């Protein structure tokens, strides 16, 4: 009795847009492959040619999860799915891996799994402060040149003409020594004090006649000594692999299901969900002047660290890149103040929760959470997706301002689907016709046009309506069955 209504719902599910083919048409992908950046190859094409070589797949898998700012850390479940696609020669599946929504991905985070590479035990270990110990006062003069070494590429060979890791950015790498020292100085200044904690020996950064004991004071000091400081809110496609094959860049994004429905030409055509490569977001301090020329970045990376870092590896062209916001003057000082607070907050969280897998990545957020929360404070809105932080953890660190910032941003592991402005805002270009990832350009153009026209639909309300309808049918069937049983007993 309960089967017939459910069978009748299947055509209805298709009409409501729940019959989903995740992949764009082959002809659409083929057309986009012609406009890929020069000297670039798909990851699936590389694996078509190499997966049969003995031992190569295992070497490649051993490199996954290495690095700092890739778009995702593969949980054990995701790792298994990835391995199955390669061993099963599912090349079209690799081209859209994993193609899950963020709720499904975060459900794979096993709190009992081993800790990944990253900060785990204490603020001393969780933030790179270089030679500046937390246990002694020190003054670092920025008037003298940095004595740190130059750029060193983190590259390795997998054989078969495949290498892992990117080389130097020709514009940024020459500044590596100054950038690395400045990142360490920013980190140590961030840890000078923490709310409700015992005072620490004070670290001071000195430039000219200016002294700074906090990151924001250092930005003000740089400006006062004739330096130009720009803080940029930067977005890129995350490079999941950082592989090179026969001297070519390997295009390897990590795909997320946005739950937005791509418009079709005809009502009877099957709807697809818009899949997008996950983005990477960071703040970049671009500093130029009479004494210091440097480029420093901040993000919470897959290495489990939320800290200031160098930013001088060469990005592959397909990841693109743009500045959503640029801050100067007092606004640059304010963004730096909030960023320093996040360095302290994450250090405290790592000390309080060393048991979290992946250094807290996913559970304490991904790179977008911090950047989006500061964007919300500075502009009144947030345009980043996804956010994964379980913000109840942030009540375990003592800074109420940081707790409020994290509580305020949308949560993508629960509640409704992400809004279109956050999905499109995360993309590394506003010229969607310039996208070079095969199969993405047309999907984004169609979906964005529907949003502007007010006709864009999401699978989230459709699915809720369908589930409500299924629940109503099931409830009606149960009531009818109970009534029939009772009437038969009366007879």
Provide the residue-wise pLDDT of the chain in tens; the chain has 491 residues: 333 333 333 334 433 434 445 677 766 766 667 778 999 999 999 999 999 999 999 889 888 877 777 777 888 889 899 999 999 999 989 999 999 998 888 888 754 444 344 433 333 447 999 999 888 899 999 999 999 999 998 899 999 999 999 999 999 999 999 999 999 999 999 999 765 566 668 999 999 999 999 999 999 999 999 999 999 999 999 999 999 999 999 999 999 999 999 998 877 777 899 999 999 999 999 999 999 999 999 999 988 999 999 989 999 999 999 999 999 999 999 999 999 999 999 999 999 998 888 889 999 999 999 999 999 999 999 999 999 999 999 999 999 999 999 999 999 998 788 999 999 999 999 999 999 998 899 999 999 999 999 999 988 644 444 444 455 456 565 556 555 656 655 44
Report the C-alpha gap between 215 and 189 in whole angstroms: 6
Report the C-alpha gap between 242 and 96 in whole angstroms: 17
Listed residue (308, 314, 104, 79) closest to 214, CA to CA: 308
Whether the Cβ atoms of residue 19 and residue 13 lie closer than 8 Å to each other:
yes
Tokens 């200031």 locate to: 308
In this structure, what DSSP letter does residue 216 have? H
Q: How far apart are the first and last CA of the chain?
A: 21
pTM of the model: 0.86
Tell me, rounded to whole angstroms, the distance of Cα 403 from its chain centroid: 20
Q: Beta partners for 310?
A: 296
Per-residue pLDDT, 69: 73
Q: Spell out a b/e string for 419-445, using b for 16 or more CB atoms within 10 Å of the CB, else e.
A: bbebbbbbbbbeebeebbbbbbbbbbe
Listed residue (188, 190, 250, 235) closest to 41, CA to CA: 250
Listed residue (232, 249, 231) closest to 314, CA to CA: 249
Two structure tokens written together for 273: 């969900």
Per-residue pLDDT, 483: 58
Per-residue pLDDT, 2: 36
């Amino acid at each position: 009795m309960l089967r017939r209504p459910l069978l009748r719902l299947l055509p209805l599910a298709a009409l409501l847009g729940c019959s989903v083919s995740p992949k764009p048409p082959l002809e659409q992908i083929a057309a986009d492959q012609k406009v890929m950046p020069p000297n670039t190859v798909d990851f699936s094409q590389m694996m078509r040619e190499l997966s049969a070589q003995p031992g190569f797949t295992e070497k490649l898998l051993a490199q996954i999860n290495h690095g700092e700012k890739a778009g995702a850390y593969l949980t054990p479940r995701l790792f298994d799915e990835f391995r199955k696609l390669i061993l099963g020669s599912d090349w079209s599946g690799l081209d859209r891996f994993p193609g899950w929504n963020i709720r499904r991905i975060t459900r794979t985070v096993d709190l009992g799994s081993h800790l990944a590479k990253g900060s785990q035990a204490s603020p001393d270990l969780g933030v790179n402060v270089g030679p500046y110990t937390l246990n002694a006062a020190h003054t670092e003069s920025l008037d003298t040149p940095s004595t740190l070494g130059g750029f060193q590429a983190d590259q390795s060979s997998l054989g078969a003409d495949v290498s892992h890791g990117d080389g130097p950015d020709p514009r940024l790498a020459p500044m590596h020594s100054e950038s690395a020292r400045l990142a360490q100085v920013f980190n140590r200044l961030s840890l000078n004090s923490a709310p409700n904690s015992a005072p620490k020996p004070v670290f001071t950064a000195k430039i000219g006649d200016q002294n700074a004991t906090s990151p924001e004071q250092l930005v003000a000091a740089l400006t006062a000594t004739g330096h130009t400081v720009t803080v940029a809110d930067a977005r890129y496609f995350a490079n999941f692999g950082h592989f090179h094959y026969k001297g070519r860049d390997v295009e390897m994004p990590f795909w997320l299901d946005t739950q937005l429905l791509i418009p079709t030409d005809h009502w009877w055509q099957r709807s697809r969900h818009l899949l997008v490569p996950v983005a990477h977001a960071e703040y970049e301090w671009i500093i130029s002047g009479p004494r210091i020329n440097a480029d420093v970045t901040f993000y919470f990376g897959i290495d489990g660290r939320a800290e200031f870092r160098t930013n001088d590896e060469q990005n592959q062209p397909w990841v693109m890149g743009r500045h959503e916001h640029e801050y100067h003057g007092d606004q640059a000082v304010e963004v730096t103040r909030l960023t320093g607070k996040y360095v302290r907050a994450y250090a405290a969280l790592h000390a309080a929760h060393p048991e979290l897998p992946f250094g807290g990545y996913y559970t304490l957020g991904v790179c977008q959470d911090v950047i989006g929360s500061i964007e919300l404070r500075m502009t009144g809105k947030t345009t980043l997706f996804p956010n994964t932080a379980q913000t109840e953890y942030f009540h375990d660190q003592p800074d109420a301002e940081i707790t409020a910032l994290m509580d305020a941003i949308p949560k993508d592991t629960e509640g409704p689907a992400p809004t279109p402005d956050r999905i499109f805002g995360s993309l590394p270009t506003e010229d969607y016709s310039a996208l070079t990832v095969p199969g993405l350009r047309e999907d984004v153009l169609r979906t964005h046009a529907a949003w502007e026209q007010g006709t864009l639909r999401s699978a989230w309300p459709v699915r809720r309506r369908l589930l409500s309808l299924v629940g109503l049918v099931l409830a009606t069937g149960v009531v009818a069955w109970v009534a029939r049983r009772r009437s038969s007993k009366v007879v």
